[in-house]
């Protein structure tokens, strides 16, 4: 395990998409055990925020500080479509050295799908597989972009459960979703609160 507890901090973050400024002066600090829910309409900048925090796109202004490894869940599962699910996941489990990976498969109802090629899976099944990848990574900071989309009600409850357990174990979760999540002690903010106003122009 890592010596220092994980943390995730954003200072005065501003991001653009094309020519449009999506949000500005966005700051937050998440300590070990914190979960934070980012709400906002489609196109408000939730995904851009997640990608900026992940270091996958350069923010227009401000900076992100993080202590601890990141796990990212977004709309792309990152699993080879031609491989059977079990082998596609085994690649990531192997890279991440995940020993506890076998426990997560039945929990996400994936054990019966291990032989099915990823391209035959439904949207929800792919999402559950990507969740298994995130859990198996055992990274202290989770970035979840729309984790509930495409999932049935039972699986949605499971996501909340997993996030809760992750944070109980000292992890951090930043979740962008327009759907409500039921995680005890989760803070939330709306990304629209940081949208540029007339005065900024």
Partner 1 sequence: MITALLRRDLAQFFPFTGSGAALPVVFFVAVAMLFPFAVGPDANLMAKTGGGVVWIAALLAAILPLEKLVARDIELGFFDQLKLRGVTEEAMMAVRLIAHWLSFGPPLVLATFPAAALLKIEGETFQILLLGLLAGTPGLAAIGLMIAALTASLRAGAALSGLLLIPLALPILIFGAGALARQDQVSLGFVAAISLALVALAPFAAGAAIRAAREN
| Residues contributing to the site for partner 1 (CB under 8 A) | 18, 54-58, 69-72, 74, 76-82, 91-92, 94-96, 133
The least distance separating partner 1 from the CB of residue 94, rounded to whole angstroms, comes to 6
Nearer to partner 1, 22 or 79 (CB): 79
Nearer to partner 1, 95 or 99 (CB): 95
Q: Which of 40, 78, 160 is nearest to 48 (CA)?
A: 40
Q: How far apart are CA 198 and CA 37, in angstroms?
A: 27
The least distance separating partner 1 from the CB of residue 182, rounded to whole angstroms, comes to 27
Nearer to partner 1, 100 or 112 (CB): 100
Q: How far apart are CA 2 and CA 185, in angstroms?
A: 24
The least distance separating partner 1 from the CB of residue 157, rounded to whole angstroms, comes to 25
User: In angstroms, what CA-CA distances link 66 with 9, 27, 52, 172, 186?
Assistant: 6, 13, 12, 11, 19
Nearer to partner 1, 28 or 60 (CB): 60
The least distance separating partner 1 from the CB of residue 131, rounded to whole angstroms, comes to 14
Decide: 142 and 174 in contact? Cβ < 8 Å.
Answer: yes
């Amino acid at each position: 395990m890592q010596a220092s507890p994980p943390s995730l901090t954003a200072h005065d973050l501003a991001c653009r998409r094309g020519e449009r400024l999506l949000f500005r002066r966005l700051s937050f600090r998440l300590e070990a055990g914190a979960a934070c829910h980012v709400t906002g309409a489609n196109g408000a900048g939730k995904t851009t925020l997640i990608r900026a925090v992940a270091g996958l796109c350069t923010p227009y202004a401000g900076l992100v500080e993080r202590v601890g490894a990141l796990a990212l869940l977004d709309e792309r599962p990152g699993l080879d479509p031609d491989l059977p699910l079990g082998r596609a996941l085994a690649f990531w489990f192997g890279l991440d050295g995940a020993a506890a990976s076998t426990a997560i498969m039945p929990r996400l109802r994936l054990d019966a799908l291990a032989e099915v090629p990823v391209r035959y899976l439904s949207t929800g099944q792919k999402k559950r597989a990507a969740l298994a990848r995130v859990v198996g990574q055992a990274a202290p900071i989770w970035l979840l972009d729309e984790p509930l989309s495409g999932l049935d009600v039972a699986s949605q409850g499971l996501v909340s459960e997993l996030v809760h357990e992750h944070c109980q174990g000292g992890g951090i979760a930043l979740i962008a979703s327009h759907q409500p999540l039921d995680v005890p002690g989760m803070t939330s903010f709306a990304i629209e609160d940081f949208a540029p106003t007339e005065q900024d122009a």
